[in-house]
Copies of this chain bind each other. A is one copy, B any other.
Amino acid sequence: MKQSQLFTKTQKDAPKDEVSLNAQLLIRAGFVHKEMAGVYAYMPLGLRVLENIKKIVKEEMNAVGGQELMMTTLQPKEIWEKTDRWDDKKVDNWFKTKLVSGTELGVGLTHEEPVVDVVSNYLSSYKDMPFAVYQIQNKFRNELRAKSGLFRGREFLMKDMYTFSRDQKQHMEIYEKIVEAYFKVYERLGLGGITYRTYADGGIFTPRFSDEFQTLAAVGEDIIYLDEKKGIAINKEILTDENLQKLGLDRKNLVEKKAVEVGNTFHLESKYTDALDLYYVDENGEKQSIIMGCYGIGISRLMGVIAEIFSDAKGLVWPESVAPFKVHLISLGKDEEAEKIYAELQKNGIEVLFDDRDESAGKKFADADLIGIPYRVVVSEKSMQAGGVEVKKRKEEKGEIVKIEDLVRKMK
Query: Taking beta carbons and an 8 Å cutoff, which residues of A are in contact with B?
Result: 5-9, 11, 30, 33, 35-36, 39-44, 46-47, 50, 65, 67-76, 92-93, 95-101, 105, 107, 114, 118-119, 121-123, 128, 131, 133, 138, 140, 142-144, 154-155
Contact = CB atoms under 8 A, between A and B. Distances in A.
Contacts of A47: 68-70
Majority-rule SS of A interface residues: mixed
Contacts of A107: 97, 107
Nearest to A101: B144
A35 B5 contact: no
A93 B9 CA distance: 35
A8 B69 CA distance: 11
A270 B1 CA distance: 28
A100 B92 CA distance: 9
A33 B117 CA distance: 10
Nearest to A124: B9
A10 B176 CA distance: 31
A154 B72 CA distance: 11
A100 B122 CA distance: 38
A44 B70 CA distance: 8
A74 B122 contact: no
Top 4 closest pairs, chain A to chain B, by CB: A42-B70, A95-B97, A35-B72, A44-B67
A173 to B, nearest CB: 16
A53 B93 CA distance: 34
* Chain B CB within 10 Å, residue with most, of A11, A47, A121: A121
Contact of A65 (B5, B99, B131): B5
Given A6-B67, A7-B128, A107-B107, A41 B72 contact: yes
Given A35-B72, A35-B114, A123 B7 contact: yes
Given A35-B75, A73-B73, 7 more contacts: A7-B133, A9-B122, A35-B74, A46-B69, A47-B69, A50-B70, A107-B107
